[in-house]
Amino acid sequence: MKIKVLSFLAFSACLVLLSGCVGTQDGHSVAGVPFTKDRIVSRYARPVAQLDAVTRTVLNRNGKILVDNAVNNTFQAKVNQRTVWVKVADVDGRITEVTVQARGSMGGDVDLAAELSKQIGMMLVAGQNGP
């Protein structure tokens, strides 16, 4: 009987310790396991406006954009039943940073984030800004 009670308490403690909130690129928090890698950061010597256009195109090709916030250059989209957040930020006037974050139902999906980040970079190299 004591073993069952102790194992139940240990299991409950693990659930409490491993669950939590994860900050997203648009400044909000979502429930999830905070210890999984879920974001890829890339830097480009391109203007913010060009990266915004490329990011819109990549997200539209792979899924559906849910939120396009032009004030702080953040996007939220659904791609392969995962939620994706992208933030485009000016670093120093010449360099622009793109952070792609992808999460499934509870954990991060770094593979999807890496794929979307790679597609953004490839479109910049190819010089394509639109569909």
Which residues sit opposite 64 in a β-bridge?
Answer: 78
Q: At a CB cut-off of 8 Å and minimum separation 6, what does 129 contact?
A: 50, 53, 54, 57, 123
29 lies in a domain? yes
With 80 as the cut, is the pLDDT of residue 69 above it? Answer: yes
What is the arithmetic mean of pLDDT over 97-101? 95
Compute the mean pLDDT over every residue in the chain, rounded to the nearest whole number: 84
The token pair that represents 29 in the structure block: 């928090």
Count of domains forming the chain: 1
Q: What is the CATH number of the domain that holds 90?
A: 3.30.310.80
How does residue 129 score in pLDDT terms, banded at 50, 70 and 90? Answer: low
The token pair that represents 53 in the structure block: 């256009």
Judged by average pLDDT, the poorest of 2-11, 29-38, 62-71 is: 29-38
64 lies in a domain? yes
Q: Give the range of the structural domain holding residue 11, as residue numbers without chain letter.
A: 2-126
131 lies in a domain? no
Query: Quick one: pLDDT at residue 4?
Result: 78
